[in-house]
Structure 1
Amino acid sequence: MKSLILAFSLMVGSYTFAQMAVVDAGANHQMAKQITQSAAQIKQLEKSYQLMKDAQDKYNKVNGYIQQMGQLQNIINLQKQAISNSNKILQKARAGKIDVSSIGTQLSQISGSIKTVQALLNNGMFKMSDSERITLLENEYNKVKSANAKLSVKLIKLSY
């Protein structure tokens, strides 16, 4: 009977695998170190992301200013053209003794537009919101375009 119990215990013992709990302090320390490094890397990544986001916002703002500078250049070009047309009208008027009092209104509009654009450039460009600045520039562009068109028509009439 002893041999039967012994054989039975050996047979059951060979099929059971007992495992002892093993704690590797070095591996646990290494894992904690990796977790700490990963957390620091995530914080650095968040800082980098925020820096890139701020840079993109500044780029978009500067890009908006550059586009508005293009519109300012268009206004200035129209103003120059209107002044040139006014000079040509004045020359034709002197030669033909023609009344040029009707171009005074257009010259006043252009002069007012020049003052507005100059004030915007000197102290108001960065104090205004984008929509206010765009609206102001569009209004000035339309005023100068209208005045220039009237001066061009007057110049064409005087040419014939």
Structure 2
Amino acid sequence: MSFAFERDSEPMKLLLPALALSCVAAAPAAAEIAMFSQRNFQGARYSLEAESANMNFSPRSVRVLEGQAWQICPRPFFGGDCRTIHESNPKLNLPRAFSGMVRSARPLPMAATAKPAPPVHVAPPKPAPEVKPKPDEPSKHHEAAKPDEAKPADSKPKA
């Protein structure tokens, strides 16, 4: 079954805007990072929508869109010990290598935006419970002391 609509027909007037809207809604959000000079997203704002290989900003908080990740670096052209920002952080504490400054930043591809899985703690295996012989049973590893051979530990041999 096929449908043919004329360009100016009523169904076509309703269908075209709906199709256009669905294309916009399906498009991924543009990458964006907003860095703030003060904690809690306050102070001067430095925003990026694309990579910046040579910048100079001292952020104290950072906001990224959900599902996105950005790489921030302590040196221009993405040099140094870079860090990945996966989520907004109202109290950003940069490592010492940054000297408080972000010198370059870039959005990461979607595959890199997944947060790393938290480490799984695997407990060491529990040792097997110690099986103690019953008081009336001799141990399998030691012969039971005979009553007439039992000596007190602090007794001295007779001379």
| TM norm. shorter chain > 0.5 | no
Relative CO higher for 1 or 2, CA cutoff 8 Å, sep ≥ 6?
1
| TM-score relative to the length of structure 2 | 0.25
Give the structure with the higher percent helix: 1
Give the structure with the higher percent strand: 2
